[in-house]
Each structure stands twice: as structure tokens, then as C-alpha cells.
Structure 1
């Protein structure tokens, strides 16, 4: 697999997967997106060429953009920007989880740099925190 590819195993594709993350996940707000993060479901069927390291840190992405945000051209542009930012920044996510990015109405004017900044911020929020005197070992958002 290409290191920056975006194969189907990194996508949430079924309605029940989106609903599981949105109903049972943690909610994070960014300027243009509402991001739901949940631990991965145990039913992901990996491709035969996927290594164990890739499965251990597999982050899957789902994107929702409603018609309230704008016409189809705008909605598709937002989805392309989020997919591209995720594709390039996927390696920053240290723990496996499922994410659903829901576009707010302000996302209709979002630029790629803003999406990348939001992706960076989200990777810092949900990655495991270092263990120390005041933290629990293994605690993370996923």
C-alpha cells in the first residue's frame, strides 16, 4: 500500500458505522467542523496485505456535509479538502480510532490550510498523552 494512499479500509462507509461513532463517541469542536471520535469497532475486515502495525494504528474517517452548508459543488469541495488533509496527516494519529467530521455552515468558505490546522489540532487532542505523576497509564480519547 502507498504510504499516503487512502484505501477503503481507512473510510467509514456504512450508515451504522457513522451512527455508532456519532452516538457513542466524544465530541470535539473546531472552527469549521464538529468531530466525533470513538474507539474502533472490532468488525473491520483488513486487506490481506495490511501489516499488524497498520492495523494497530488504523484511523478511519467519515465525512458528513449537509445540504445546509451549500450546493453540491461546495459540499464536494469540503469533502475533498478533509480527505486530502487526512490522507497526508494520517500518520500523526498514534492510536486507532474512528472519526466522523461533520461540516458546520462556516465550512463553505474553508481553505485547505485551515483544514490541515484542524487535522493537526485533532491529532494532538486524541493521541495518547504521556504518562506521568498525574495521568493514568494508557488513557487517551480513543
Structure 2
């Protein structure tokens, strides 16, 4: 993920939390905030309650990989904050992908893939 696609600053996180719309399922909470920009940005939050550093970093990698592979289907002019919940520590990539796809569809920010 390029630096332009990340939210790192605490002030930006707080803005998305306060002004954004949240959607959740059992594995993830996603905050979405409409922005005037040419590409989406994501911020990740994985609590220490979920596991050790190795586990938390693996979850972050899986989420980043999902957004890398689905960048053409995600609304571009939005900021996303993804908060991982406890069940994600035991999930593999396919489970993370289907869970993120589900919560993004519920939030109405994931465009359907075209069938070729």
C-alpha cells in the first residue's frame, strides 16, 4: 500500500470516527467517511486483545491485501477505518476476504465485480 492510501495521523482517525458512518459484522467494524479525493485511504486498528504482534501484523497484511486486490471495486473518494475484532485472529485469507466483502456490501461501498 502506498503512503497516499494510508491514514496514520490520530487527528484523521478521530475525524473518520466522529463524522463517518459505521457498519459492522462479527469480525470487523468499518467506518466510512466521504472525502474529496481521487483515491481511497485506509486506516487499520488491531487491538492487543486480539493477539501478539505477529498475529496483529498478519491480520493487517491480510486486510491490506484485500484492498489491494479489490481497489477497482471500492468507492474511491472515501476514507475507511477497519477495526478487527477477536474472531479475526483465527481466520485465513479467504475468510477475511469474504467477511470484508460482506461488511463493505452492507456499507454500500463495494461495487459488484463484472462477470466476464
Q: TM-score, normalised by structure 1?
A: 0.69
Distance 1:126 1:84, change over 3 A: same
* CA distance in structure 2 between the aligned counterparts of 1:117 and 1:21, rounded to whole angstroms: 24
Q: CA deviation at 1:31?
A: 2.5
Residues 1-142 of structure 1 correspond to what in structure 2 (within 5 A)? 6-40=1-35, 55=38, 58-124=39-105, 125-127=107-109
- Structure 1: stretches of 5+ with no match in the other structure: 1-5, 45-54, 130-142
Report the CA distance between 1:9 and its aligned residue.
0.8
* Unpaired segments ≥5 residues, structure 2: 112-116
Q: How many residues align?
A: 110
4+ long deviations beyond 6 Å: none
Shift of 1:122: 4.0
Q: Using structure 2 for the length normalisation, give the TM-score.
A: 0.84
User: Highest Rg: 1 or 2?
Assistant: 1
